[in-house]
Amino acid sequence: MANITTTTAAAFIPEIWAQKALEVLRSNVVLAKLVTKDTDVATFQVGDVLHIPYPGTFTAQDKSANTAVTLQTPSGGADLSVTLNKHKEVSFLIEDPARAQANQDLMDRYINSAVPAIAEAIENDLFALYAGLSGSVGTSGTDITAATIRSARKALGTTLSRALRIARTETLRAHREATRASYQANSDLVDGWIWHSALGERTCAACWAMHGTFHTLDERLDDHPNGRCAMVPATRSWAELGRKYGLDFGDVEETPPKITLGVDLFERLPVETQIKILGPAKYAAWEDGKFALGDVVGRKRSREWGTHRYEKSLVELLGAEKAKGYTRLALMGAAKNAGQYSADDLIRVAGLGLRELTHGELERVARHVANAGFSSTEMMRVRTSIRGQVWDGKKLEIGDTIPTDVGHYLKHVVVNQEWPDGTTLEDYKRSLEEVILDQDSDVFVSRYNDAWQIGFVRGSRDWRGSNGGDFIFVEYKVQYGYLVTGYQPEDVIIQLTKKRESFRWIRNKRFH
């Protein structure tokens, strides 16, 4: 590799210095962000004339079904001409460019001193132009109406909320950079700075994660627009200062700032507050261990705000499919229960494919389903299949009502003879409970008629009757909170696929 000399290194100056200078320039201008620049249209040079099209205003039209749209010519449109007649510069001499480019601190000091002068000149020129502008909306002496406000927004070219966002963001940016410059000027005392967030319910998850993190003096606090975060100086220890200046500070107590990391503080918040900050879907994914709080911090560059932090979306964190699942869980009202999911919540979590249930969770679901059994309050109407059967001393007719467990028992045990002769109602229910609680049973989740259900399948064994099948098939519907069927199908595969959506195995030992 060839040696880098002052001659070869000099060729790199435009790329290295200009990029850093532009970053500093963007962080020091306010009004310049509100006007159209040559780079928004194309690349121009001083002396060129920019022709910037202003489309004017449109009017919303009523649209009737099966009618053509009305094409409009916007009113007030114009082709605005702007002459690039300003060219600012700040020049200084670097005797040894190779050494300067290799010295990061030296480059930053030159750029941070020179570029703000250009920024100030640009802002002053723009303010001078605004002083010559005039315009009014509404009528003096009359009440302000909604129409007046809309006209003012058009005249200003922005909304009040955007104007306030710009003012807040750029004021705080200037304050932070002035603070950092002060720290840099006292780098013999200040070692760096610590990110300090507001730590409230309105504080975004990214700022919670950044709170308490250490940063060197060459790092900017690149908070998001409207951000309220601040820098706390991390001073050098008395021991360091003593060694640096040859002094004995051994009897001076060290008092560094004690700032607990935001990720740790977030863990201690009440669940309700965590949900308010993250939102139900993102909270559920975080509680399920899909990401750490620090993972939500993103960094991006925009033309308006430069480089800044932001909170990543659930799609960025998990991918579109998993994000959709947690969003659906939130819409079901179950996401807020993350970490303390009910058995029914766990069935939904498994059905949406958000994560696998642990052995303990599946056992809890099975006990819940077994305890639920058939409804103890709901009644079912007698159908043709059990018409004429006698129950509780009465011959049943179509339209009569009986308990649901009795209806299933009469159909599958007495009429269809899927269970052995002599099987009682209690025997029938006990056999279903055995299948549900048996760890050898296969378990699946699906949506049947658009409702979540969990099913248990196991060999019929000693419970097989003269017309029984190889398997006992039991299902529980989350929406109802009790069993909806328990029988021995002729073809279990058909029952596993018929009219089902979002089918997922939770435990599968037989059906591969």
Q: Would you list the domain boundaries of the chain?
A: 350-507
Predicted confidence at residue 79, as pLDDT, reads 65
Dihedral sign, Cα of residue 313, residue 319, residue 324, residue 329: negative
Predicted confidence at residue 55, as pLDDT, reads 66
**Mean pLDDT, 10 residues at a time, over the chain (512 residues)?**
48 52 62 58 63 68 78 68 73 60 60 72 69 64 74 63 80 90 92 94 96 95 92 89 84 85 96 94 94 96 87 95 92 86 93 91 96 93 94 93 96 97 96 97 93 96 96 96 96 87 91 76
Q: Cα–Cα distance between 52 and 43 in angstroms, integer?
A: 13
* Element spanning 472, H or E: strand 471-477
Contact 254, 238 (CB under 8 A): yes
Q: Cα–Cα distance between 391 and 402 in angstroms, integer?
A: 9
3-state helix, strand, coil in the chain (%, to 5): 45, 15, 40
Predicted confidence at residue 4, as pLDDT, reads 45
Give me the long-range contacts of 42-49 (CB less than 8 A, separation at least 24): 44/84, 45/84, 46/84, 46/85, 46/86, 46/87, 47/83, 47/84, 47/85, 48/83, 48/84, 49/81, 49/82, 49/83, 49/84
Partners of residue 57 on adjacent β-strands: 75
Predicted confidence at residue 180, as pLDDT, reads 92
Distances (CA, A) of 69 to 55, 76, 199, 453: 19, 22, 51, 48
